[in-house]
Structure 1
Amino acid sequence: MAIVVHMDTIHRTMWGPFRKIVIMDARGSLHIIKVWGDLLNKNALRWALAKEDYGIIIGTMFRRFRRQEFLESSDHTAIHFNPFHHNAHYFGPIQKALVARNNRQFAVTFLEEQRRR
């Protein structure tokens, strides 16, 4: 469970389009998830709204890449937007602070630092 903080541009490879998304967990740590074609296309509007509203997502069945330090979607990945979950209330104060700040530069900097590695 995490908050969508930033979405990178769509990149295209021979395996299809993907987008890197920066998320923040309940501890305030930033992570990158790499979401491939079908999950981007099926949920395009939801992704856009999640970015604007700092929406909460829950994802299951991601693959972890240790070398590149990110999670990647697979054919079995499921993502739920703004879920009705008993732990969702922990993200309320974080969402309010992010909306009040309205500056995503910290997420862009984090993404650029990860690219340099």
Structure 2
Amino acid sequence: MTGTDPRDEGGMGREPAPDNDLSARLRRLEMQIDRKRHPAAPDPSSRSEVSNEPSPLGRALRLSTEFVSGVVAGGLLGWGCDRLLGTKPWGMIVLVILGFAAGIYNVMRVSGFFRPADTKKDQSGT
């Protein structure tokens, strides 16, 4: 005994525990930790199930695109009507306002504010 072992206190320390005793204690400790540990949330990068819902960013981009496309389409149609008919500001004003309304309608439709119309006809004999 060289005196460098902290368990060896002047030669009166106890014998080191055998490996199988340490392994059993380690298994008991792991079981206790597992019982007290909360179940971990699944890692989002390793999800096996694929959701059919778009991401929030994708949904926001779609809604903004629906709105902007309505306003731009109205503006382009108004500009074209003004050039063809010679009604300088009025075609643009009216059709931009209609494009704005169409953009709002598209956003409400895509976001689910309106319920889809029932396209099935009454099959009871009418």
TM over 0.5: no
Larger relative contact order, structure 1 or 2 (CA cutoff 8 Å, min sep 6): 1
TM-score (norm 2): 0.18
Higher strand share: 1
Larger radius of gyration: 2
Higher helix share: 2
